[in-house]
């Protein structure tokens, strides 16, 4: 019975969306474009494109920010703003079923959502695949790795990533007995081997949600060039807050080509 129940509740366990946007870039005084996208299967998605802070005339790198499983893009606004201060234009993608986006989230659906966002960014003036950065955090590492394995990009950053849902279940005591029956979603450990751009893996050593070992295994499987950064003592939801100076220095070094 427990196996049947887990399978029936699979999507509601993986995805924890919230509809209400409790803040917006406009409220924070941040310049943005309010972006609406249409996926290949006809779902209408809402996103925010935050404009990077950089010297006039400096070409911007574009970032596609693929967030974790709970809440919505309002919960990632502070993180997005801090990334714009590194000179990046940041598209905070709202998956289907989250915030103002239509539909209900599924694994295949969020892959389609990421493709729609990727296609949109390539229509922006001065944007090409080589200056497009994919950033996936927690659940978002799954669609980020999938996208980077299939389509060209300039860099891939995954933070607090997991190898796959089944591999994660093996490391969570309550799910361990049922892990052989849990569908193997977001199989990043296999897909990361196909990525053909520089890769940065970031993981907190005290992550209580996704074990640190997942980040290390993904890093070991990834092709060169690559870099691993341990957030010493960090849990799942206090990644840049512990040492923001070092955290964003690692970002800048990586994007500048220091692997």
Catalytic site positions: 138, 207, 236
d(CA 144, CA 41): 19
Tokens of 255: 């994007």
Give which of 221, 255, 257 is closest to 87, Cα–Cα.
255
d(CA 203, CA 189): 15
CA 180 vs CA 136, 139, 142, 159, 201: distances in Å: 26, 20, 20, 26, 27
Residue 114 contacts residue 146 (beta carbons within 8 Å): yes
**DSSP H/E element including 175:** none
Reply yes or no: is the peptide bond before residue 225 cis, omega within 30 of 0. yes
d(CA 190, CA 187): 6
Give which of 72, 107, 84, 69 is closest to 30, Cα–Cα.
84
d(CA 97, CA 190): 27
| Dihedral Cα 221, 194, 146, 196, nearest 10 deg | 100
């Amino acid at each position: 019975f427990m196996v049947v129940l887990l399978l029936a509740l699979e999507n509601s366990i993986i995805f924890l969306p919230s509809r209400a946007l409790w803040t917006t870039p406009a409220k924070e005084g941040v310049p943005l474009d309010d972006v609406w996208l249409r996926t290949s299967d006809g779902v209408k998605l809402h996103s925010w494109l935050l404009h990077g802070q950089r010297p006039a005339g400096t070409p911007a790198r574009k970032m596609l920010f693929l967030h974790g499983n709970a809440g919505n893009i309002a919960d990632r606004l502070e993180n997005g703003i801090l990334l714009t201060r590194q000179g990046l234009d940041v598209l905070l993608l709202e998956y289907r079923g989250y915030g103002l986006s239509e539909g209900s989230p599924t694994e295949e659906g969020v892959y389609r959502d990421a493709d729609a966002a990727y296609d949109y960014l390539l229509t922006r003036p001065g944007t090409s695949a080589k200056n497009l950065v994919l950033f996936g955090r927690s659940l978002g590492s799954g669609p980020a790795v999938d996208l980077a394995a299939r389509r060209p990009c300039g860099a891939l950053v995954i933070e607090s990533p997991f190898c796959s849902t089944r591999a994660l279940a093996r490391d969570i005591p309550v799910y361990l007995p049922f892990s052989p029956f849990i569908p193997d979603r977001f199989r990043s450990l296999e897909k990361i081997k196909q990525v053909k751009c520089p890769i940065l893996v970031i993981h907190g050593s005290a992550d209580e949600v996704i074990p640190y070992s997942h980040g290390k295994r993904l890093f070991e499987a990834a092709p060169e060039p690559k870099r691993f950064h341990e957030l010493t003592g960090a849990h799942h939801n206090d990644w840049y807050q512990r040492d923001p100076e070092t955290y964003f220095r690692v970002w800048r070094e990586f994007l500048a080509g220091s692997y």
